[in-house]
Structure 1
């Protein structure tokens, strides 16, 4: 029975509790809080023996359990003890229950001691965490102090910058006021300059008239003197036999002389001879006077040379085959243009070079390379005489070359963004440029100076010039017309896409526009409305710089597509006349039609130039 109870105790884990209880008792004995209890216990042992103390404890517990009143004297205690001893079994049971209760209290005490030990461990851990937190708090306090010092420094700097900003604002206000004053003075000076220029031109005109009259009077006086001298002198003319036969039909009266020679006697010189002499002298003096006027380089001079566009093409030929193709540049080609006599072809690209090709017998012969450009070439244009070439570049400028020299003559600077188009006006001394800085500038090429700037409200992709107005195509899907006499917009025509190019007909009656909505539009300049719209299946505008042109006789419209195909529309029928696929393998950037109508040129993104015939 004892072995079974011991096994049950071991099975229930009593030995573990016993070990834990022993450890708790040892820990409890080491704690300071139990010192007072141990001392009190020792004092109690000194006063009485362990048996009396135990008997008293048993009697008190028995009295409490049996409900006896407390005993005040020794006699009452003895009586109660005698009565209790009469019940030995009950006393034994009470003793056992009390011992069980003590054992239970001891186990509870051990558990409480273990909990106290755990709480002490937690307390130590919390103390360590607290110390760590205090260290971090000290570090953070130091950082806060540093940040507060920096904050004070920054506040002082902000105050200093505020004072400096206020001073700069005051200075800016003074400079702004000075700028407006200077601008007013500049405007007045410009007005005075224009007035002086008008006075100078009027003076030149009056001086020219005076010199013409003086020269005419001198000529008349000289002519009258020559005529008077001629009337007094006899002129003899020897006539050869062949000339005599021709003169017999013209001169009926002749005098015969000896030796077979015939002389015609005139009392004065021929009027036709005098007229030719007078005309020659007048032309010489007029040429000299015109040269002096040209050296003045005035924009508004009435003596400027004007080149009339004499049409050299009666009927343009539709291209049917490739005449020649070349790899013209080392990178993408953006521009192509024929010279006025159709003998030269100019191409320009992103390699900052312009190549001149001689179009001889349907072949492209590289004649010259024009260098010196500081940016990619966006457009090229020959002057009306074909001696100069004007190009727009991506370095915010336009440059002027003379054909044959190979070096540029002038750089037109003033734009603040890419120059997308450069065109001549009616003379080679005037040009117009358009840029992405939302301005169009008019230039006096003899001075290399801009004399007018027009704000056009949007990116300008292309421009064309007429006699009395300038037309600009824009990124905001509009075409604007500008009066060339004063910078104001006289007409706005909206289109459905970004305008990529403009082309004006030779008679200046129609305008061709290409836009990113994959359509070409023909605008009647007399009515200022869209007359025709050309679309075709497969045609797609490849870039913001795709160029479309009229044929020289204004019978066809030509453009290149993003897939490398050329499309031609008939102006009369409004239908697609033909398409030329299979030669270009990339997007066609620009096309050109020779003024003679015999050739077509096209360039693409893959460095290829193609001549069609």
Structure 2
């Protein structure tokens, strides 16, 4: 698998994407994946209670840690390349230990964050400081600081909240019941939202929200597999995409780093790419892994990952050859 640094994409490069490596030794579905912002690293959390760290430049599993007591649901990198925040699946009501700050280097829990008594469904790290946010089915968003155990702020909301910071860390968005998206100044969120958008005509819960790298667009995925691209300043709907339903498996969509394309899974096991400016589909592929619940494009590379119970790395196939993807020996470098 040959890695390419990211350059501005065109339709031909997007169409050429193909599977370059496959990791298939997971003991359950992969719940979430996250790329480090500055290093060639990927982290996954899965139903087999494992958190796994990958070197994406070499398609190599670097480390596996197991979390039988708490489980592994949502996961995201902190700024340090070997530490992550992971949400728990088990014992939430009894322990309140809904979030853990984990060192992948020496398999230690550096801090527990207690507060949510129900599952965390959205988790994101500030791109500029030690703040992070979690959204839970307990109808709250909590703001935290890695250096402090106690919650720094709470927003009470209707429905299942989904959260995201913009790329500068100045603004965060909270999507909630009824298709409402509220924007907050991250330095004075206690004053309430400075703007509210409504995604007209769709009242399904938003299961994921992302800002484009240039901050001009927002990407929403809903529980009924609709995907919307919104203008991040005025909230106008730039385009909407309806995909095949996948009961009990919400799909994820992702921007490319240049903000020119959106990729998404679908309930029929296909992957799709659209040009935002041209408002047209430019590519579709068989995912080869069933419904891809997790889908993210790497911040600094011409690659994306798609995951179900299997993790696949997709890269441009410049040779146009029919070579088989690399089946990786996932035992190398693995530790429990």
TM bracket (short chain): 0.7 to 0.9
**Which residue matches 2:208?**
501
Relative to its length, the structure with more helix (as a share) is 1
**Which residue matches 2:330?**
none
Does the Cα contact within 8 Å between 1:542 and 1:588 map onto a contact in 2?
Answer: no
Two-structure CA RMSD over aligned residues (Å): 2.2
Does the Cα contact within 8 Å between 2:208 and 2:221 map onto a contact in 1?
Answer: yes
Does the Cα contact within 8 Å between 2:271 and 2:287 map onto a contact in 1?
Answer: no
- Out of 19, 34, 58, the position equivalent to 1:322 is 19
1:455-470 aligned at under 5 Å gives the runs 455-460=156-161, 462-466=162-166, 467-470=169-172
CA radius of gyration, larger in: 1
Flag structure 1 segments of 5+ consecutive residues without an equivalent.
Answer: 1-311
SS in 1 for 2:148: coil
The alignment status of 1:336 with 2:33, answered yes or no, reads: yes
Shift of 1:567: 1.1
Relative to its length, the structure with more strand (as a share) is 2
SS in 1 for 2:237: strand
Does the Cα contact within 8 Å between 1:564 and 1:583 map onto a contact in 2?
Answer: yes
**Which residue matches 2:223?**
516
Flag structure 2 segments of 5+ consecutive residues without an equivalent.
Answer: 93-97, 316-336
Tell me which moved more, 438-447 or 539-548.
539-548
Does the Cα contact within 8 Å between 1:499 and 1:544 map onto a contact in 2?
Answer: no
Whole-angstrom distance in 2 between the partners of 1:402 and 1:552: 28
**Could you give the per-residue CA deviations for residues 177-220 of structure 1, whole angstroms, max 9, x where no partner exists?**
xxxxxxxxxxxxxxxxxxxxxxxxxxxxxxxxxxxxxxxxxxxx
Shift of 1:405: 1.9
TM-score normalized with structure 1 length? 0.45
**Could you give the per-residue CA deviations for residues 71-123 of structure 1, whole angstroms, max 9, x where no partner exists?**
xxxxxxxxxxxxxxxxxxxxxxxxxxxxxxxxxxxxxxxxxxxxxxxxxxxxx
**Which residue matches 1:391?**
86
TM-score normalized with structure 2 length? 0.80
Does the Cα contact within 8 Å between 1:423 and 1:431 map onto a contact in 2?
Answer: yes
Does the Cα contact within 8 Å between 2:305 and 2:313 map onto a contact in 1?
Answer: yes
**Which residue matches 1:117?**
none
- Out of 277, 298, 314, the position equivalent to 1:612 is 314
1:305-320 aligned at under 5 Å gives the runs 313-316=6-9, 317-318=13-14, 319-320=16-17
Tell me which moved more, 373-382 or 345-354.
373-382
Shift of 1:545: 4.0
SS in 2 for 1:553: coil
1:110-509 aligned at under 5 Å gives the runs 313-316=6-9, 317-318=13-14, 319-341=16-38, 343-361=40-58, 364-372=59-67, 374-395=69-90, 396=92, 397-460=98-161, 462-466=162-166, 467-484=169-186, 485-487=188-190, 488-489=192-193, 490-495=195-200, 496=202, 497-509=204-216
Shift of 1:356: 1.1
Whole-angstrom distance in 1 between the partners of 2:70 and 2:307: 19
Paired residues in the alignment total 294
Does the Cα contact within 8 Å between 2:132 and 2:143 map onto a contact in 1?
Answer: yes
